[in-house]
């Protein structure tokens, strides 16, 4: 490269963009982490410390009383149980139904299936507020208010579009030759789905399980609308309910917030191992 | 009774007629190869035999039983796919035994039969590996194993070697030939590679535009093609086609005239005076002395293939170069003017519609 021109480092033009981007990202990271840090700090302080205004300071002594109070509270146990009773069936059912619909749209198309797919997926764009009152009247007429059923049903219904979209797109990447090979070996469509397509879709299922679980677990709106008694409240409403008579119990609420976020963290960590690429590697010539 | 019979089978995709009234009969133990250019309907025909594609019209019989509307798994066929179609989350052993597991065959029996098949294909050491841990040839062997284990009446191969490199393709071709002798099974094999067709087939079925052009033994198709399409498709390098005319001499002898040459055509029973196309295979053209030559051509390109060479000649009477095969003849160079003689009674004449005369 005889023509290459050497430019001394000092004379190279300074490009400010990497620095600007770094600073913006750093500021955003701090802004995003600040509430979590605040909650974490509050959870290990006494109410007195917090009341004195030392909200953002690191406590001189760790106070675990808030956690003990939360973990010993029978109401919190009930909130957890209720949330699990809503989250587990809603997550499983929405993924199961979305997988079935996604498989049909991807591998068994029929006349009008693309239009139907668009209709199903458009369900994602309904704002909950728009259907809130009709749903309340519906479940009220069915005498299901102050039960967990409406929350489960709504989360299944609202989860189906995203589950269908994701699973359909994933199944579309599973080579059709695999389905045909399985059919020639004697498999019916159910066996193709359960023995071939789904085992190959573990990454997509893991993503969906994490998304759905987190979404349903953290939901505040629907439990607020459809439950009234403390016996039926879920954990997110429980955090709000844990306030003192005359003052906000910041410490207790902080510790419960942290404890309440643990299941979603566990779910993420559990499914993280399935977030692997190349599951279909070697299936077909590539 | 034929092991596999197609009776007036057609397949239509919307307005496109992919397979048009195919009649074909394949005997037990026969190795039939379906060849033809892309989009000729050979793969669609194979898929209709397998049941993966339904026939729009006609009947398909396997072992004398009408299977036209029978589910793929109940037809007694097994298929090896071009893309192998191995289940990536299963080991080679699980892939091979997949059909038996679905059929709820006892576990011990599956293990025994998988081992048996693995021994036949010499893949015992690979049984615990996943497809991603296998080479192309090994994957193809596992795919063949999956088809063997069910002991089908008819094996279907959909271009099984087209994803392999040239050297491996030759090896696998030999293995399939050995397998075919060992299994004594009826096999239908789709390929666009005529070398595979010529080396493997008992009979070759040549497809074009959804129809069968000719069915016959490889040498039959090579020596006596039914029409210009088959003549041009079978054989590499392809047959030379030269515009010509059949003329009757005063002595009522028929001769074919092209360029400066005139050849006796009395041996061609359907020949009659008029325009024609002369077909000559490259190995039936010889570099001769000037006195013996039928025509002269200027060498444009010489392709050296090792044991032999192919010379492409420009002539005044053809738009396309004429190819001649040179084996033990004097070497020629681009630019040489060479005298060429046509092998007597080794050429073909085709009518205007392409049928052989």
pLDDT at position A86 = 97
Q: What pTM does this model have? A: 0.81
Structure tokens at B305: 């293939």
pLDDT at position A280 = 43
| B102–A191 C-beta distance less than 8 A | yes
CA distance B293 to B315: 14
Residues of A in Cβ contact (< 8 Å) with B73? 183-187
Helix A250-272, helix A17-43: angle, nearest 10: 120
Closest CA to B269 of B355, B196, B332, B201: B355
pLDDT at position B154 = 93
pLDDT, mean of residues A98-125:
95
Chain A residue with Cα closest to B72: A184
Chain A residue with Cα closest to B160: A285
pLDDT at position A1 = 44
**Residue A52 banded pLDDT, cuts 50, 70, 90:** confident
Residue A53: CB atoms within 10 A of its CB come to: 8
| A187–B87 C-beta distance less than 8 A | no
CA distance B96 to A276: 26
| B88–A283 C-beta distance less than 8 A | yes
**Which secondary-structure segment (H or E) carries B58?**
strand B57-62
pLDDT tens-place string over residues B181-230: 888 789 999 998 888 899 899 999 999 999 999 999 999 999 999 999 99
The alpha carbon of residue B78 is apart from the nearest alpha carbon of chain A, in Å, by 7
Closest CA to B297 of B335, B263, B258: B335
Find the distance separating the first CA and the last CA of chain A, reported in whole Å: 37
Residue A131: CB atoms within 10 A of its CB come to: 14
pLDDT, mean of residues B321-349:
85
Residues of B in Cβ contact (< 8 Å) with A187? 73, 102
pLDDT tens-place string over residues B57-70: 999 999 999 999 99
| B98–A185 C-beta distance less than 8 A | yes
Structure tokens at B296: 């002269």
Is the bond preceding B237 in cis, omega lying within 30 degrees of 0? yes
CA distance A221 to A204: 27
pLDDT tens-place string over residues B324-334: 998 865 678 89
A278 touches B at CB < 8 Å? yes
ipTM for the predicted complex: 0.85
pLDDT at position B330 = 60
| A182–B81 C-beta distance less than 8 A | no
Residue in B78, B82, B86 closest to A184 by CB: B78
Residues of B in Cβ contact (< 8 Å) with A190? none
The alpha carbon of residue A161 is apart from the nearest alpha carbon of chain B, in Å, by 28
- Distances in Å between the alpha carbon of A78 and those of A218, A235, A245, B149? 16, 8, 21, 56
Residues of B in Cβ contact (< 8 Å) with A196? 87
pLDDT tens-place string over residues A244-277: 656 678 888 889 999 999 999 999 888 877 765 5
Residue A286 has pLDDT above 50, yes or no: no
| A196–B52 C-beta distance less than 8 A | no
- Distances in Å between the alpha carbon of B162 and those of A82, A286, B35, B173, B207? 58, 13, 13, 11, 18
Residue B259 has pLDDT above 90, yes or no: no
pLDDT tens-place string over residues B228-247: 999 999 988 899 999 999 88
The alpha carbon of residue A284 is apart from the nearest alpha carbon of chain B, in Å, by 5
pLDDT at position A279 = 44
Residues of A in Cβ contact (< 8 Å) with B163? 285
A284 touches B at CB < 8 Å? yes
A264 with A216: CB under 8 angstroms? no
Residue A20 has pLDDT above 90, yes or no: yes
The alpha carbon of residue A279 is apart from the nearest alpha carbon of chain B, in Å, by 7
Residue A223 has pLDDT above 90, yes or no: yes
Q: Which long-range contacts (CB under 8 A, 24 or more apart) does B25-28 make?
A: B26/B2, B26/B154, B26/B186, B26/B188, B26/B203, B27/B2, B27/B3, B27/B186, B28/B2, B28/B3, B28/B186
A283 touches B at CB < 8 Å? yes
Residue B272 has pLDDT above 50, yes or no: yes
Residue B123 has pLDDT above 60, yes or no: yes
pLDDT at position B343 = 87
pLDDT tens-place string over residues B133-188: 999 889 999 999 999 998 899 999 999 988 888 888 888 888 888 888 888 789 99
Structure tokens at A243: 């306030």
pLDDT at position A11 = 64
Chain A residue with Cα closest to B80: A181
pLDDT tens-place string over residues A164-188: 999 999 999 999 999 999 999 999 9
Chain B residue with Cα closest to A198: B89
Residues of B in Cβ contact (< 8 Å) with A281? 88, 131-132
pLDDT, mean of residues A137-166:
96
| B133–A175 C-beta distance less than 8 A | no
Residue in B72, B83, B131 closest to A184 by CB: B72
A98 with A160: CB under 8 angstroms? yes
pLDDT at position B192 = 87
pLDDT, mean of residues A233-246:
82
pLDDT tens-place string over residues B20-73: 999 999 999 999 999 999 999 999 999 999 999 999 999 999 999 999 999 999
A178 touches B at CB < 8 Å? yes
A186 touches B at CB < 8 Å? yes
pLDDT at position A231 = 92
């Amino acid at each position: 490269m005889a023509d290459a021109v050497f430019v001394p480092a000092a004379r190279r033009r300074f490009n400010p963009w990497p620095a600007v981007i770094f600073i913006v990202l750093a500021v955003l990271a701090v802004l995003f982490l600040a509430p979590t840090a605040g909650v974490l700090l509050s959870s290990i302080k006494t109410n007195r410390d917090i009341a004195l205004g030392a909200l953002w300071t690191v406590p001189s002594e760790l106070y675990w009383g808030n956690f003990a109070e939360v973990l010993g509270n029978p109401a919190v146990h009930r909130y957890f149980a209720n949330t699990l009773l809503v989250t587990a069936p809603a997550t499983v059912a929405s993924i199961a139904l979305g997988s079935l619909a996604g498989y049909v749209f991807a591998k068994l198309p029929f006349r009008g299936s693309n239009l139907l797919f668009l209709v199903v997926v458009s369900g994602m764009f309904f704002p909950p507020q728009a259907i809130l009152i009709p749903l309340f009247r519906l479940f009220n007429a069915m005498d299901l208010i102050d039960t967990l059923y409406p929350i489960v049903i709504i989360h299944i219904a609202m989860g189906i579009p995203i589950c269908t979209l994701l699973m359909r797109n994933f199944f579309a990447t599973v080579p059709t030759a695999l389905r045909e090979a399985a059919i020639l070996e004697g498999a019916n469509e159910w066996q193709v789905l359960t023995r071939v397509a789904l085992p190959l879709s573990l990454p997509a299922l893991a993503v969906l399980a994490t998304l759905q679980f987190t979404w349903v677990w953290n939901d505040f709106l629907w439990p607020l609308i459809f439950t009234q008694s403390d016996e039926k409240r879920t954990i997110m409403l429980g955090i709000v309910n844990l306030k003192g008579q005359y003052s906000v119990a910041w410490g207790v609420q902080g510790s419960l917030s942290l404890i309440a976020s643990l299941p979603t963290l566990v779910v993420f960590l559990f499914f993280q191992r399935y977030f692997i690429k190349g599951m279909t590697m070697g299936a077909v010539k590539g | 009774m034929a092991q596999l019979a197609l009776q007036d089978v057609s397949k239509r995709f919307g307005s496109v007629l992919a397979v048009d009234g195919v009649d074909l009969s394949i005997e037990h133990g026969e190795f039939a190869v379906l060849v033809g250019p892309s989009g000729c309907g050979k793969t669609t025909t194979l898929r209709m035999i397998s049941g993966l594609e339904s026939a729009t019209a006609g009947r398909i019989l396997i072992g004398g039983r009408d299977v036209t509307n029978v589910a793929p798994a109940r037809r007694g066929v097994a298929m090896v796919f071009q893309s192998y179609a191995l289940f990536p989350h299963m080991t080679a052993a699980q892939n091979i035994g997949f059909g038996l597991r679905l059929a709820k065959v006892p576990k011990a029996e599956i293990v025994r039969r998988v081992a048996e098949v693995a021994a036949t294909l010499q893949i015992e050491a690979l049984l615990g590996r996943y497809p991603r841990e296998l080479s192309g040839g090994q994957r193809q062997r596992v795919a063949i194993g999956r088809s063997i284990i069910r002991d089908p009446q008819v094996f279907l191969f959909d271009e099984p070697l087209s994803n392999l490199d040239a050297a491996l393709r030759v090896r696998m071709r030999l293995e399939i030939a050995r397998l075919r002798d060992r299994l004594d099974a009826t096999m239908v094999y789709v390929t666009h590679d005529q070398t595979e067709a010529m080396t493997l087939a008992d009979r070759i079925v040549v497809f074009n535009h959804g129809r069968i052009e000719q069915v016959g033994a490889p040498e039959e198709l090579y020596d006596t093609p039914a029409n210009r399409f088959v003549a041009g498709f079978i054989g590499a390098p392809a047959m030379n086609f030269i515009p010509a005319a059949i003329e009757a001499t005063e002595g009522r002898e028929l001769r074919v005239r092209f360029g400066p040459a005139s050849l006796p055509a009395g041996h061609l029973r359907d020949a009659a005076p008029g325009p024609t196309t002369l077909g000559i295979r490259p190995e039936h053209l010889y570099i001769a002395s000037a006195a013996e030559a039928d025509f002269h051509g200027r060498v444009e390109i010489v392709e050296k293939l090792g044991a032999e060479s192919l010379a492409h000649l420009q002539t005044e009477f053809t738009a396309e170069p004429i190819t001649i095969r040179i084996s033990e003849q004097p070497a020629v160079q681009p630019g040489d003017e060479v005298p060429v003689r046509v092998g007597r009674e080794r050429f073909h004449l085709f009518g205007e519609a392409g049928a052989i005369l």
